[in-house]
Amino acid sequence: MAEDKIKVYGTTWCGDSRRARQFFETNHIDYEWIDIEKDPAAIKFVEETNHGYRSVPTIVFPDGTILTEPSIYTLNKKMGLL
């Protein structure tokens, strides 16, 4: 089920999670931050999505696509900024 807001699952200590958040903020793209260390359901979702691994950031887009640990280039391409 697609939702209208991008969801970023991550942790505060992860550099890739911080870069993803900074990307969305710098480009004024609305998103929801979900700290998996504070949300057991989020941990379960990330593990199920990533074959048992807690790979972050895991980013869910309104169209239903999911990117795990994407590069800034990949995010730019996904958001149509390239």
Q: Which residue has the tokens 């710098």?
A: 26
pLDDT digits (tens, 9 = 90+) for 16-26: 999 999 999 99
The domain spans of the chain are 6-78
- pLDDT, tens digit, for every residue of 47-69? 999 999 999 999 999 999 999 99
Asked if the 6-78 domain carries CATH number 3.40.190.170, the reply is no
pLDDT of residue 38: 98
Mean pLDDT of 33-44: 98
Q: How far apart are CA 55 and CA 10, in angstroms?
A: 8
Residue 1 reports pLDDT greater than 80:
no
Q: Which amino acid is at 36?
A: I
